[in-house]
Amino acid sequence: MTNTETRELFHLLNQRVRLITKEVNNVLSDHGLYHSQWSIIFCLDQFGPMTQTAIWKYLNVEAPTVTRTLSRMEKNGWIIRKQGEDKRERVIEMTDAAKQKFAAVNEAVDQVEKEMAHPLSSEEIQHLQLLLRKLGATEGE
């Protein structure tokens, strides 16, 4: 019985995330970005230039994923990679073009996210966050 509940929950989770990603990608396509590229831009805006490791650790993604996405973004003129003090590191910065576009994209994303979150009250959003944080939280978190 409770197994069924759990199944449903995970099924629902997957569906929702796909739906949301799709929606966000759709909005971002007007700006020539994809969801995960945007998440990197957002990260860079928030923290300033940062190392690739810092990025993938923050996004909770594996290193090769970030390497690949950054390559695309570099090719498309969103970011540049500079060599760090430690010569193994590559420090990622937004290009001037990216900085100029940031506000508009941010606005658009806020818009969709607000729409999608609209059926929920502020308290519900907080509660949802709380429940999600509990879900799948093994010891080390």
Element (H, E) at 51: strand 50-51
Strand partners, 51: 91
Q: How many angstroms from the chain centroid is the CA of residue 68?
A: 15
Residue 51's binding partner among DNA, its own copies, none (Cβ under 5 to 8 angstroms by kind) is DNA
In the numeric block, the tokens 């739906």 are attached to 19
Residue 65's binding partner among DNA, its own copies, none (Cβ under 5 to 8 angstroms by kind) is DNA
Q: Which of residues 115-134 bind DNA (CB under 7 A)?
A: none
Q: Does 69 bind DNA (CB under 7 A)?
A: yes
Over the window 78 to 107, marking each residue x when it contacts DNA by CB under 7 A and - when it does not, the resulting string is: ---x--xxxxxxxx----------------
Ranges of H-type helices in the chain:
2-29, 35-47, 52-59, 63-75, 96-117, 122-134
Residues near its own copies (CB under 8 A) are 2-3, 5-21, 23-24, 39, 42, 59-61, 110, 113-114, 116-117, 119-120, 122, 124-129, 131-137
Contact assessment for residue 70 and residue 92, using Cβ atoms and an 8 Å cutoff: yes
Instruction: Write out the residues near DNA by the rule CB under 7 A.
Output: 18, 22, 34-37, 39, 51-53, 60-65, 67-72, 81, 84-91
